[in-house]
């Protein structure tokens, strides 16, 4: 889809440039998704550590 969108902006004879830009954009996006996943997993691990303490305090 990114390749098709980029191809609309440039001429058809620049397929190599469009492919390179599409691949680099995909790498940047995947890096951002990886950061968000790591932060979410760390938050879940911290929450799991704190949740048993709260349940012990209520008893």
Instruction: Tell me the pLDDT tens digit for each residue of 20-47.
Output: 888 888 889 999 999 999 999 999 888 8
pLDDT above 70 covers a percentage of the chain that reads: 69
Range of the domain at 21: 2-58
Number of domains in the chain: 1
DSSP 8-state secondary structure symbol assigned to residue 10: S
Question: Could you tell me the pTM of the whole model?
Answer: 0.59
45 vs 43: CA distance, rounded Å: 5
Hey, what are 12's tokens?
A: 């058809």
Q: Which residue has the tokens 């995909």?
A: 26
């Amino acid at each position: 889809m990114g390749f098709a969108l980029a191809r609309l902006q440039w001429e058809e004879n620049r397929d190599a440039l469009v492919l390179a830009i599409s691949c680099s954009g995909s790498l940047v996006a995947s890096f951002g998704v990886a950061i968000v996943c790591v932060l979410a997993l760390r938050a879940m691990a911290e929450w799991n550590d704190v949740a048993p303490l709260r349940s012990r305090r209520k008893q």
